[in-house]
Structure 1
Amino acid sequence: MVQQHKLITMPLAELEHVIINGRTTGERSPLTLFWSGSGIELHTTGSQLELEVETDYDHAEQWLSIWINGVQVSRLMLQKGRNWLTLFRGMNPEKVKHVQVVKEVQPMGADQLSLLQFHALRGDGRLQPVASKPVRLEFIGDSITSGEGGIGAREEEDWIPMWFSASDSYAKLTADALGADYRVISQSGWGMLSSWDNNPNHAIPLYYEQVCGVLTGERHKQLGAQQAYQFATWQPHVVVINLATNDYSAFHQPAWKDEASGQLYKQRLLPDGSFHPDDLARFELAVQQFLEKLRSCNPDAHLLWAYGMLGTPMLPAIYRAVDRYMQQSGDRKVSVFQLPSMTDATTGARSHPGKLAHAKAAEELAGYIAELLH
């Protein structure tokens, strides 16, 4: 029989020893989570702990995972409304537990109601200090970095939140291997110049300097998603950029039409199937300009372009752009790393890298980053 203890409710904003993971605003009452991999982390005694969660959506529900002492013990779809979620129950009240709650899905910009907030904790233990992690990593990317297809059967093709898994992505696995704090800025289908379908508004660099500018709804604006991000509050040691996969796809898709202006946007191929040199040059210039922006925002970080889990057709252009940036700027804290490509055996849902592909990429990337930091 589980012994009952008095549970005390503690508003999140009043708690000292709760680590906030992921980009967010300074508002803690409640705490709004935007990005994949964001959440909270804490150490606590006690036999039971609950988290008050509020969520809303139209079609793209939120998913959370719960980690106790470094092991994922639960992964669940959240119900609409404001509810108490039990993180653990019946555990030894004297032992200190390491607890993480992780947002599994990326920002869903097409869902104007999308919302995930944490209000309070309720438990019978005492929070303990959490030691700061010695390394901070930022990951910038697309569906691969969002963990799309990291969970689910290979035959799954539905584009739904269920098949997104921050916990199985190479970003979290790399950070865990290095004992690092990490943050993710990623959107499925987006790229450097455009999305996979040539939409120039879906380019990650356009929104990098905002808290979560990829969310454009009125609710999101009111929650601070479009505020300028305060980079001084969290400076990474390494910024990992994994972009270009969707730019390659755009070369093979029809033009995108801006309905307001009637203008067409297209990354073009020549009749022989090679890249149009003008459009390839635009891509390389975009890479250079993004590196300049990243350096301005993260003056001491190593900028690492990591690419290749879905092939390497843009790798020569990335190398040229990075080399040109280094020559023109004199910046030497920049490099390119080729990630291991997904294989037939490591394919996950939606023809994306599966858990095994992410694990292999994380193993190699963590080894390279460890060398950079020493």
Structure 2
Amino acid sequence: MHTFKLLVMSAILWAGQTLAATAVQPDDAQLQYIGRVDFTERAAPQLSWPGTSIEGNFTGGSLAIKLDDVLGKNFFNVFIDGDLAHPVIVEAAKGGKTYPVASDLAPGPHRFLITKRTEGEEGATAFLGLELADGGKLLAPPPRKQRRIEFFGDSITSGMGNEAADGQPDHLLNEKNNFMSYASITARNLDAEAHIISQSGIGVMISWFPFTMPDFYGQLSAVGKNDSKWDFGSWTPDVVVINLMQNDHWLIDDHKRLVPMPDDAQRVQAYKRFVQKIRALYPKAYIVCALGSMDMIRPGSKWPDYVRSAVAQIREEQNDQRIDTLMFEFTGYTAHPRVRHHQANADLLTAFIRQKLDW
């Protein structure tokens, strides 16, 4: 974390410098976008989902990124030349701004990767392009990954509080880093492209706000409940990982917010209906119904059984052999999982997918 803070301070100091630059427009064909990106305005594509990324190769001694953030609450990682351990962390100010992220680079080709640390509840960010050193140019992008994984989840999948210290509040935006969530780590482990459809506080039957994942999963934009539509035919995953119901557990069992309270069979059916919606979209994908690693999977909890029952019914009724369950380990840590928990969960999920798909 100390290194991260130094890099953030460096980015702030560089922001005041004026550099001769070669502009790269956001619709440049050499830029590689990953995730649900809204290209309605080609000159200002909107990034809203956690983990959404842009990567490319370039020449020149410096790099700056241009963003126009709606709320001034988003954070981004920028990695240079594959150094994934030392991101430059950009705190996006409200409005349009240029953020220098690399300087004094050696001659020759370089690589960048931009990833959205935060999620839709922090609002959308328009990507307005790059500035390279005078004489620099964009090169052909890296080859796209052939494997694809899509994740549907809540704050755990988003990476809420994963960089917070143990025992400290885990709601701070600068300590939310989807890149170090189990979802993003698993995708890197498997050399797969990931789409991460997650929202902190969301559930299948009830959420901490007036919409649920069945209302939300088909959107192009992750900013609240809206009328945008994602084209499911434009990107098809090989694997789908669903990790939901933690908020259902809290709101139904602990806070008694759903009236009348659903019985066990209704809980199973609600989850089953959502999984069937995903199966209808992706008939050939391998679906992993995961849970955890928060208190929903503690010893004695009924929620793992709800998921197992729903999956067993789907397997039997539809003769669906490409669906299974995976329970992450409950370590006794009841707050949002920290990076070490995400790494352990990613190791488990990675091994599971490798076994099932021979990856």
Q: Normalising by the residue count of structure 2, what TM-score does the alignment of the two structures yield?
A: 0.86
TM-superposition CA deviations, 1:304-328 (whole Å, max 9, x none) = 1111311412111110111111211
> Do 2:179 and 2:185's aligned partners in 1 also have CA atoms closer than 8 Å?
yes
> What are the residue-to-residue correspondences of 1:162-241 with 2, within 5 Å?
162-195=174-207, 201-212=210-221, 215-216=224-225, 226-241=227-242
Residue of structure 2 in register with 1:39 after alignment: 53
Q: Is 2:251 aligned against 1:250?
A: yes
Superposition deviation, residue 156 in structure 1: 2.7
Mapped to 1, the partners of 2:221 and 2:166 lie a distance apart of 31
TM-superposition CA deviations, 1:13-43 (whole Å, max 9, x none) = 1x11211121122333211001111121112
> Do 2:30 and 2:138's aligned partners in 1 also have CA atoms closer than 8 Å?
no
Mapped to 1, the partners of 2:29 and 2:260 lie a distance apart of 50
Mapped to 2, the partners of 1:267 and 1:148 lie a distance apart of 30
Superposition deviation, residue 213 in structure 1: 5.8
Mapped to 2, the partners of 1:152 and 1:163 lie a distance apart of 6
> Do 1:207 and 1:214's aligned partners in 2 also have CA atoms closer than 8 Å?
no
Superposition deviation, residue 55 in structure 1: 0.8
> Do 1:177 and 1:366's aligned partners in 2 also have CA atoms closer than 8 Å?
yes
Mapped to 1, the partners of 2:47 and 2:181 lie a distance apart of 18
Superposition deviation, residue 202 in structure 1: 3.1
Single out whichever of 360-369 and 245-254 deviates more from structure 2.
245-254
> What are the residue-to-residue correspondences of 1:79-94 with 2, within 5 Å?
79-94=93-108
Residue of structure 1 in register with 2:323 after alignment: 334
Secondary structure, in 3 states, of the residue corresponding to 2:340?
Answer: helix
Residue of structure 1 in register with 2:264 after alignment: 280
> What are the residue-to-residue correspondences of 1:1-374 with 2, within 5 Å?
7-13=21-27, 15-27=28-40, 28-57=42-71, 61-68=73-80, 69-71=82-84, 72-94=86-108, 96-108=109-121, 114-123=123-132, 124-157=136-169, 159-195=171-207, 201-212=210-221, 215-216=224-225, 226-256=227-257, 265-266=258-259, 268=261, 278-311=262-295, 312=297, 313=301, 314-344=303-333, 351-374=335-358
Note the residue ranges of structure 2 that are not aligned, 5 or more in a row.
Answer: 1-17
Give the aligned length: 330
Superposition deviation, residue 73 in structure 1: 2.2
Mapped to 1, the partners of 2:89 and 2:222 lie a distance apart of 27
The one-letter code of the counterpart of 1:327 is E
Mapped to 2, the partners of 1:241 and 1:337 lie a distance apart of 10
Mapped to 2, the partners of 1:267 and 1:343 lie a distance apart of 31
Mapped to 2, the partners of 1:50 and 1:23 lie a distance apart of 23
Note the residue ranges of structure 1 that are not aligned, 5 or more in a row.
Answer: 257-264, 269-277
> Do 2:151 and 2:197's aligned partners in 1 also have CA atoms closer than 8 Å?
yes
> Do 1:288 and 1:321's aligned partners in 2 also have CA atoms closer than 8 Å?
yes
> Do 1:192 and 1:283's aligned partners in 2 also have CA atoms closer than 8 Å?
no
> Do 1:145 and 1:242's aligned partners in 2 also have CA atoms closer than 8 Å?
yes
TM-superposition CA deviations, 1:96-120 (whole Å, max 9, x none) = 3231111111111xx7xx3311011
Would the alpha carbon gap of residues 46 and 214 (structure 1) be closer, same or farther in structure 2, given more than 3 Å must change?
closer
- Sequence identity (%): 25
Secondary structure, in 3 states, of the residue corresponding to 1:252?
Answer: helix
Residue of structure 2 in register with 1:260 after alignment: none
Mapped to 2, the partners of 1:70 and 1:232 lie a distance apart of 33
> Do 1:48 and 1:125's aligned partners in 2 also have CA atoms closer than 8 Å?
no
